[in-house]
Amino acid sequence: MIIFNKLWALMEARGITSYRLREECGIDRKTIRRLKLNENVETKTINKLCNALNCSVEDIMEFVPDKK
C-alpha cells in the first residue's frame, strides 16, 4: 500500500494548506480526499505535488507492505 503521511507532515512543516494546493497547484478536492484516504491517484498528481513542494517522490509517499 502507498501511504501519504509524509505529504501531510511536509506540508505542515512548510505551512502549506490543502486549500493552497487546490488553488495554486490545480489539485481538486476529490484528489485531496483520495490522498488523505491513501487511495489511488494519478502520476500527474504526484508530479504536481513534487513540483509545488519542490521535493522528491520519497518525501511525500512511502510503500508499506499489505498485511496478510
Interval 7-65: pLDDT, tens? 999 999 999 999 998 988 889 999 999 999 999 999 999 999 999 999 999 999 999 99
- Residue 41 structural domain: 2-53
Q: Does residue 59 lie within any of the structural domains?
A: no
Q: Does residue 26 lie within any of the structural domains?
A: yes
Q: What is the DSSP letter of 60?
A: T
Q: Does residue 15 lie within any of the structural domains?
A: yes
Give the predicted TM-score (pTM) of the model: 0.90
Q: Does residue 22 lie within any of the structural domains?
A: yes
Distance CA 53, CA 39 (A): 20
Q: Does residue 60 lie within any of the structural domains?
A: no
Residue-wise burial string across 53-64, b where 16 or more C-beta atoms lie within 10 A, e elsewhere: beeeeeebbeee
Q: Does residue 61 lie within any of the structural domains?
A: no
How many structural domains are present in the chain? 1
Query: Are 66 and 7 within 8 A, CB to CB?
Result: no
Q: Does residue 34 lie within any of the structural domains?
A: yes
